[in-house]
Amino acid sequence: MNRKVIIIGSGPAGLTAALYTARANLEPLVFEGSQPGGQLTITTDVENFPGFPDGIMGPELMDLFRKQAERFGAECYFEHVTKVDFSKKPYTVWVGDKEYNAESIIIATGATAKMLGLENEKKLMGFGVSACATCDGFFFKDKKVLVVGGGDSAMEEATYLTKFASEVVIVHRRSEFRASKIMIDRAMNNPKVRVMWNSSVVDILGSQEKGVHAATIKKTDTDESFEESCDGIFMAIGHKPNTDLFSDVLKTDSNGYLITASDSTATNTDGIFACGDVQDHSYRQAITAAGSGCMSAIDAERYLEDNNLNK
């Protein structure tokens, strides 16, 4: 069946695009990807989404987003798109062997936490190495953990981890943080938190059987290296956009973010729109993602109308 619109991604951007296209009777099909609800599903309290004066839990907020889109007929599937063909219309996306066609596509694949790229990091992921304090903090009761990074997410993870860990050490490669002041204060005022400035993690020591027991730290100013004992390491070193599936067809910037036309969500390919973190390296908020998701939906609707595809 030829769809009018397929949405790839299910964070605030994708689900807002789903809500708007569903209300416009475009019967959107949403492929939720491997993390339905997106990055907010691994956070705790969201304090800055307007309309929730007391805050709301990230997973709960995304559940509400999905329900609202489904109420108007959006179909959401917990499936991961594996391949696309944007070279001819209608466009094709594959989930494994299953093929789907659509006149327009909205890309809202978001971004994924970056890793350091160490061999042991991959091997020990889930065995002491984590990119999600809210998922895994529980397992580090009265343990010592490192948090790598210097932005808001590093501060948030460090603060959250003090609920469980006996000691939280923020390892940061520079001599100052780029996090916002409120987040820095919250972390630094906690007696369990200390900072290792000008330091980077160059190796992680441990095994899948016994977990992590230490990290090798290298001082970025003196080149001196030493081992720091710890039971867990949490990565909070930024994000990379999920554009691998499209980067050979759609224009990206030097960091891999999709490029959209100014004041629009149009990519360089007709009928293909991008919204949310996959095209935004500067704001990266739930509310801005939702806003651009709405723009994508309206852009797609106009495109379908202008090309007589909205039947």
Q: Which residues are catalytic?
A: 132, 135-136
Q: Which residues of 227-257 are buried (b: 16+ CB within 10 A; e: fewer)?
A: ebebbbbbbbbbbbbbbebbeeebebeeeeb
Sequence-ordered list of residues with C-beta below 8 angstroms from that of 243, at least 6 positions apart, any chain: 109, 250, 252, 256, 257, 258, 278
Beta-bridge mates of residue 100: 93
Closest contact distance (angstroms) between CB of 6 and other proteins is: 17
Sequence-ordered list of residues with C-beta below 8 angstroms from that of 42, at least 6 positions apart, any chain: 35, 58, 132, 134, 135
Closest contact distance (angstroms) between CB of 255 and other proteins is: 25
Cβ proximity to other proteins, 42 vs 118, nearer residue: 42
Q: What is the footprint of other proteins within residues 112-171 (CB under 8 A)?
A: 125-128, 130, 132, 134-136, 138-140
Q: What is the footprint of other proteins within residues 58-77 (CB under 8 A)?
A: 58-59
The answer to the question of residue 287 lying near other proteins (CB under 8 A) is: no
The answer to the question of residue 78 lying near other proteins (CB under 8 A) is: yes
The answer to the question of residue 188 lying near other proteins (CB under 8 A) is: no
Closest contact distance (angstroms) between CB of 213 and other proteins is: 13
Cβ proximity to other proteins, 139 vs 197, nearer residue: 139
Cβ proximity to other proteins, 26 vs 81, nearer residue: 81
**Residue whose C-alpha is closest to residue 243's, from 111, 151, 143:** 111
Closest contact distance (angstroms) between CB of 112 and other proteins is: 12
- Estimate the share of the chain in helix, then strand, then coil, as percent rounded to the nearest 5: 30, 30, 45
Beta-bridge mates of residue 227: 216
Q: Please give the structure tokens belonging to residue 161.
A: 């981890």
Closest contact distance (angstroms) between CB of 8 and other proteins is: 14
Cβ proximity to other proteins, 42 vs 287, nearer residue: 42
Convert residues 36-55 into a mask of x (bound to other proteins by CB under 8 A) and - (unbound). Answer: xx---xx-------------
Cβ proximity to other proteins, 31 vs 91, nearer residue: 31
**Residue whose C-alpha is closest to residue 14's, from 248, 266, 273, 256:** 273
# residues near other proteins by CB under 8 A: 29
Binding residues (CB under 8 A) for other proteins: these are 34-37, 41-42, 58-59, 78-80, 96, 125-128, 130, 132, 134-136, 138-140, 208-211, 232
